[in-house]
Chains A and B, each alone.
Chain A
């Protein structure tokens, strides 16, 4: 099957190259037939790559170790769920996933726009196929997913234990979907610039893809944060790691873009800004992909050093130079059709919010690339840590959240004093009351930034609530419906508007969770024996007993902990450290079961008020003499097997392996029968759960904004306004 896989990649590469040629020839010389053929090449590419991806997945599910990628990233003991996801834990498999997703999303975009943007679409097709060709070239010449091994091993190395987490099933596909979906507005922007079709049509046609990209990338980022919180064993969800930052960059500029295109769509303004934003977002998406793969910056999430850096740098260089060149070349066509009516208008709020989001992106970019910048300037690689990021990010994020509450209250074109009175009084009062109420909460003002931020969040939530309430009342006034029906009706008819408002509310909740959980967190590192306790933020955490489990996949050493407050039981926590066997036989027959990679299972009691988080780090040093004795005993036994007659040797080896498994289990049991002190980290974080609740609300809002209105309802609404305007036309014609 590997041969078929390799051949399919070559076929796909040829199809992608043909797609570029046919689309460009059709656009500039040959006519619609070539354009249609180029578009079909994208569909065909999606079909061929689906087959190739299916072959790789089947190889993983069947544990076919003749595939190098399967032998090095899976094993027979890997659970089926993780065998399926192991495909994208490898450099090779993830590149194939990237290009496959690109082909699928491109096909969808071109199918939906086949009767629109007729001049722009062929150039966009060529751009999308250029991306596909680039990634296919990498899978054919640099990181081959269908490479086979001359000597097929009986067992694979297994999946990296840190990746055995449900969030990892969806985190990479969501991130890649975000990156590849951002390629679509990027490609259409290039098409619009080349063909000088820079009005509203290309934006209307690709707006939904920009929103889908924002949504997928956001979900991917949050899943990564959740994985970090519950799997990595350090107790945080965001570490300003270069790879984390790389995914945040296009998300920030993409957020700015999906706001500012509304101004271009309505007023024909900000064309240079929007073109630059979408081109920057597309380039940053590729930069993010490059950072994960090149190994130029140290990160726990990266694939490590590789030979992919140079090709990526060439692509990114071409994207940057091409983008800047195109915007400069078409600057006359990008002139604004209108001017800003007032500095107190929704357009102005969007513009300010855009500037802040781009400033945030710049801070993240600078901090991420500072090691490279410092090395280039001083010859010494220096990096900046979380305090540096916090210093600049916190005030900017504060202002962005405040604007997300102000924006919904401000009408388009101009704001009057009367609208300020009508809109701002209630949210302003809520903010004030919240800030003053926190004075009464002991310790709340110990972190003034968090207390002020709570006030801003109250402002946002009340402004969004007020908008929903007023929308519902307006609907009730015209349709005489019960409140829930009226609310559903007004939201259904204005999904973009109210979906956006829900996103603002969710994002404010998310950042409130971040602000409070990081400002008021209590953490303690202790070493405890069973029966001993530690006190953290008023909670008594007692190490009740040690646990051990020896399975085919791993050996787990853990603890059961009892959490009480003022004598009342609060929670029982279970945390384990899993040790995966190493393939390195030099560690000994018993020792290799404790010498491979390890991962943590966090003990977590999540609550609306606070999370109680713990992780164990059992010290296995006391086991080393026993492990060494076991290694010697079994080494002698293995030599002894050589003296057994050949016909009985297999049976003797099987018995020996059974004894070895029993010995490994017994060694692990020592952690329970003769427990020694184990290291624990305890963290109590207030409102941490609201980070995930806020994220869910944000993405539900995004989904609401993305969801298309039924065609019939859309036509009915448009027809009403069309009739009014047409009457106006008739009057002016007389």
Chain B
């Protein structure tokens, strides 16, 4: 169980940091798309004897490229294209699972299997986590500016196209790492919820990052521990704790929580929506 705790906490921390950018950029749906689209990649990688993360990464980035291509070349709106592409990839994965004779356990991919994680998978996950963290830390300010005001970024000579794909690549990698702990279906929660929780608690990006990382790690630890002792779904427990923390923030956040508005009769003018 210690292995499971450590690896979940690692993945939780990384996804927590990334979730800040996802929340601010409004890429929740994109995270969902990427995480579902990696399924055929995982199956093919297993069938070909490659590390599963390679296949997953190729299909994750591939789905994003497909979404971009269809959106540009047709009149269909982006959210429709996203829904269309990722379900297509996911369906392909399901068919591949039923057609390849292998010892892949579909439920482990879909819902995670962190309590039974292998040494090889741990190595891959740690490597991916380190890579994602390094990229996010190195390009922290550029990525923040890219989320905030891409026009300004462009006008001072920052290549926003590179940043766009960098963030998408990191998202694919994080989805692959998250797949190990909570599985494909719920990985989007790891990529969105901690950021959303932290966003309700502060107006500073640095604090938001720390809060997101903290809440994400805490959720992973409590989730794995609870699931171990109650013999319930690990992914379910982790994400439930995350959702629980969000609900607490939603209700009780000092500035942006809903109960604060109910009880505080005198709201400062400065926090009113204004122009």
**A and B, one complex?**
no
